[in-house]
Amino acid sequence: MARYVKLGTLGGYKDVPGGQSDPECTHVILTKKEYDQIYSEKAKAEREVSSTKYEAERAINDARRGAQYTAQQAAAEAQKKVEAMEADLAAERAESAHQRALNANLLRIAKERANADRKLKPKKEHTGYLVVFSGEKEHQFKDGNRRVKRVLLWETVIQSPYVVDFPEVQIRKQILEELLRKDEDGYRLIDRLGINGYYGKGYGSMIEDREWCAEPERFNIMLKPKFRANFRAGYWEVVCLHTKPLGVVPKDMRVC
């Protein structure tokens, strides 16, 4: 049984009457069995703490490795998807380029054939566009206050080199691009006709759109054109409204 003692003045230990709670108690004397038990319990506790710490560290490391592996797998899967998408995109671009080349070749052949049929020379270099008609036309529009007004504009019909067999959805975009495309000198096909401006909406919108042009009356402006298939002539035509008469139409753009 444990003894609660104090250190004597001449050495040695002396029991204190109050036991563990005695304020003069300075030492506790244990039996070997009691000491061994306490030591065993302390060692067991230390092992449990060490084991708990080891298991916690292992769990943390496992979680880190698992998270790293998951992240690596996700990154690898994402990379595979990106590579697959890039491959699909490259294939699609190649196919689109191939189709554009085919379409461009088809349009070129169609234009040369149309030029030959209409005896336009040189057939490979001629634009294929001819002015069929140009005259004044009264045009009705609504101003900014939604009031109906009328204005005298000019209407010009331009024959394209594309036969009516071409679908409208394809030929509309192609014709408009060719009419508005600038050459190496910065001139468009409509510039040759004396039209020096293009507005992609109607007349009413144009005169209200001062940010686009503060003085539209100074220019011969073509509005958004309309398209029609002339089955008698066999070609697609562009019907253009513009604000002033044409200039002198070049001879190679006149219907002979």
Count of domains observed in the chain: 1
What do you get for the CA distance between the two ends of the chain, in Å?
134
Segment holding 87, helix H or strand E: helix 32-117
Q: Is residue 85 part of a domain?
A: no
What pLDDT score does 34 carry? Answer: 79
* pLDDT single digits (tens) 78-112: 888 888 888 888 777 776 665 666 577 888 888 89
Structural domain for 155, as ranges? 130-253
CA distance 5 to 63: 53
Q: Is residue 157 part of a domain?
A: yes
Q: Is the pLDDT of residue 76 over 80?
A: yes
Q: Which of 18-32, 40-54, 134-148, 224-238 has the lowest mean pLDDT?
A: 18-32
DSSP state of 254: B
Q: Is residue 55 part of a domain?
A: no
φ, ψ at 144 (rounded to 5°): -65, -20
User: By the 8 A CB rule, do 197 and 222 touch?
Assistant: yes
Q: Is residue 208 part of a domain?
A: yes
* pLDDT single digits (tens) 152-166: 999 999 999 999 999
Q: Is residue 224 part of a domain?
A: yes
Q: Is residue 50 part of a domain?
A: no
Q: Is residue 57 part of a domain?
A: no
CA distance 211 to 177: 24
Q: Is residue 191 part of a domain?
A: yes
pTM for this prediction:
0.62
What pLDDT score does 102 carry? Answer: 57
